Amino acid sequence: MRLFITGAAGFIGSNYLRYVLDHSDDTVVVFDSLTYAGNMASIEDVLGSRATFVHGDITDRAAVRTAMTGTDAVVHFAAESHVDRSISGPDAFVHTNCDGTNVMCDVARDLGVERFVHISTDEVYGSVEQGSSVETDPLDPRSPYSASKAGSDLIALSYHTTHQLPVLVTRASNNYGPYQFPEKVIPLFTSNLLDGLHVPLYGDGLNVRDWLYVDDHCSGIDTVLRSGVVGEIYNIGGGNEITNRELTDRLIGLCGRDDSAIDYVEDRLGHDRRYSIDCSKLRDLGWDTEQDFAEGLERTVGWYRENRPWWEPLKVRQ
């Protein structure tokens, strides 16, 4: 199979590219606009006969069509994804996430691709005070980022209903692992702690997130690509719900620091209290997580400790 992967120079996309090359005989066209969060250093070592790179923007219909022609399936990661940036500058999120997804789906429809996997987030369900979200729950996004992702989900699914485009949607919980841009909490806190700096913890630190190791996310996406039912949505979660304060404490311990490194800062506007998703539907396809959270976090901190040349230039650019 020949895959067309958008956003594959970013965090999850670059890890998925590696997963595909390691677990299949597929060839890949990587399509990425190389915004601040896209980094050729994350993928250049795996480009070659089975993976080629095309520099392009998902809102550019002509560029998308040229690059997508001749591919069998699309895995669509490309998106603006940082909540804080969406609060201060929402226009780019609506343009990339909604307009870009519309272009992607329309071109894929016209070219007759066989599968179209749209990558989304559990944040579209909004804050979950009790229980866990299932795929049929109403959407209740509470930030410009999550609203733009909810909109992109609906755009993609509408192409299945209207045009029979073979769309599948995945909604994952918070990811962690190597090659994550250091504006997100785990690489930001880890790199700050390794450099002897403080870490900014929002509010009371009791917001709850479910942490999913990126390789487990990649295996979930691949399961949906190859075995999922067209037109369906699949949650992908790690089953590791902890508060941000507990996460911070774990990172402090792994980096050899103490509580004096924590700076409590004013809470994020509209900060969702808890995310939680039920992944039974995906598990019914035979998928499950493999990475233990404590070991995965230690492995991740070790990667950042050993790969300063990758993240230090990115922190200067922030």
**What would the pLDDT profile of 72-84 be if each residue is shown by its tens digit?**
999 999 998 878 7
Most distant CA pair in the chain: distance in Å? 57
Paired tokens of 163? 């045009």
Query: How large is the angle between the packed helices 11-23 and 214-227, nearest 10 degrees?
Result: 60
Entry pTM? 0.96
Residues 193 and 261 sit within 8 Å (Cβ to Cβ): yes
- Domain 2-175+212-236 architecture: 3-Layer(aba) Sandwich (3.40)
Cα–Cα distance between 258 and 190 in angstroms, integer?
Answer: 13
CATH of domain 178-209+240-270+292-311: 3.90.25.10
Residue spans in the chain of domains classed CATH 3.40.50.720? 2-175+212-236
Q: Is 65 helix (H, G, I), strand (E, B) or coil?
A: helix
As annotated, the active-site residues are: 122-123, 145
Beta bridge partners of 54: 31
State the residue for tokens 């996997």.
117
Residue type, 196: G
Q: Is the pLDDT of residue 317 over 60?
A: no
pLDDT digits (tens, 9 = 90+) for 280-300: 999 999 999 999 999 999 999
